[in-house]
Structures are given as C-alpha cells and as structure tokens.
Amino acid sequence: MKRIAIFLSGRGSNAEALIAACRTGEIDGEVVLVTGDNPTAPGLAKARAYGIRTEEADPRQFASKVDYESHLLRLLSEAGTDLICLAGYMRLVGPLLLGAYRRRILNIHPSLLPSFPGLHAQEQALAAGVKVSGCTVHFIDSGMDTGPIVAQTAVPVADDDTADTLSARILQAEHPTYVRAVAAYCRGDLRWEDGRVLGAGQEGI
C-alpha cells in the first residue's frame, strides 16, 4: 500500500476524490498528509474532517523557495511518503522536490496537454475555438505542465460554453481520471518506454 501526500491550494475536490478512493479500496493507498500553501484553503478543512494529518505551509513565511521546499521534504519524510499528488496546487515545484521524488509527483491539469498549459486553460480552449477539451494527469518535470502524460479524458466543448460551464464539465471528468491514474501507479502498472508512460488504461469516452 502506497503512502500518498496531497498538495493543494484551494477547494480540494480532487483531493477528496483521491481520499475517498483510498478509503473504498479503489486505490491501494493511504493519504497520510495533506498540505497547502494557502492556510485558508477549504481542501485542508476537508482533509481534517477525514482525520488526515494536515499541515499549512505558507511560502511567505520562508526566506527562500529552497527553505520552503526543505520544510515540505521534512513533512514528507515524517509521513513516509511514497507518492505526491498535486491537486489544484498553484505553484511550480522546484528542483529540490523534483530531485527527491523523481517520477513520484503527479499533477492533474484541466486541458488535453500539450494544449493549453498553465493558468486559465479553459479560457484558452474557448479562445482557440476547440470542440474538445478535457483533463490530463501527468508526471511533473521542471516545465509548466510539460511532464510525461499518464491519463487523459476528453470532454466536449459546447457552442454556448463559458469558462465556468466548461470548467464544471471538465471537473466532473477530473476526479475519475485522477483516481484511475493513481490506482494504476499504486498497483505498479505504470511503465516507462521511450519517455512515455504506459499502463494506465483508458476510459470508454
């Protein structure tokens, strides 16, 4: 059973989906730590309601990013973390964490990467006039949403969509997609081949 830490900045709906999937056995893992860079993030309160250890880590309280990530590494070590899941974590992970958890940090992004990386992915999709968007789970690297893709789910874009309506539709797909990817990781199904990640399967959408 893998020990999972979740990083978040906001409402924590993806975090809650992962916690629930661990509790039901869909994921062979346990969420042992939830930390956030925003002390008022609703996701922290949700994790506490599940009885999970939560730690606020406000980067503004540290002299540098290295100091901030060193603190996170201590928390991760104390929790015996095997896998980090970013769930609405609005910060780029630096080289300290990347080095310590190489190929062990997953992220979920609300677009079909490599299209529309970064912030405001839904607005980017609407501005481009695409007919299909979606979500992507990927391993992170030093770039902005550029790491190897693990799983994706396509979501149709309606002619009358706004950023809010498209975001809501994509969010409905994010939860099962992230659960599927993390479950595959915890089962040991993921394998690397020529820089690609295989083994997460796909949903019939």
What residue spans define the domains of the chain? 2-193
Tokens for 165?
């309506």
- Go through 156-195 and write b for each residue having 16 or more CB atoms within 10 A of its CB, e for each that does not: ebeeebeeeebbebbbebbbbbbbbbbbbbbeeebeeeee
Per-residue pLDDT band for 203 (boundaries 50, 70, 90) equals low
List pLDDT tens digits, range 152-176: 999 999 999 999 999 999 999 999 9
Looking at the annotation, which residues are catalytic? 109
CA distance linking residue 62 with residue 78, whole number of Å: 19
**Residue by residue, what is the 3-state secondary structure of the chain?**
CEEEEEEECCCCHHHHHHHHHHHHCCCCEEEEEEEECCCCCHHHHHHHHCCCCEEECCHHHCCCHHHHHHHHHHHHHHCCCCEEEECCCCCCCCHHHHHHCCCCEEEEECCCCCCCCCCCHHHHHHHHCCCEEEEEEEECCCCCCCCCEEEEEEEECCCCCCHHHHHHHHHHHHHHHHHHHHHHHHHCCCEEECCEEECCCCCCC
Cα dihedral across residues 185, 188, 192, 198: positive or negative: negative
* Residues contacting residue 75 through CB under 8 Å, at least 6 positions apart: 5, 33, 35, 55, 57
Look at 8-22, 25-39, 49-63, 189-203 and tell me which has the smallest mean pLDDT.
Answer: 189-203
Per-residue pLDDT band for 205 (boundaries 50, 70, 90) equals very low
The average pLDDT across 91-99 equals 96
pTM for the model: 0.96
CATH 3.90.1150.10 fits 2-193, yes or no: no
Tell me what percent of the residues of the chain surpass a pLDDT of 90: 97
CA distance linking residue 53 with residue 75, whole number of Å: 10
CA distance linking residue 62 with residue 74, whole number of Å: 14
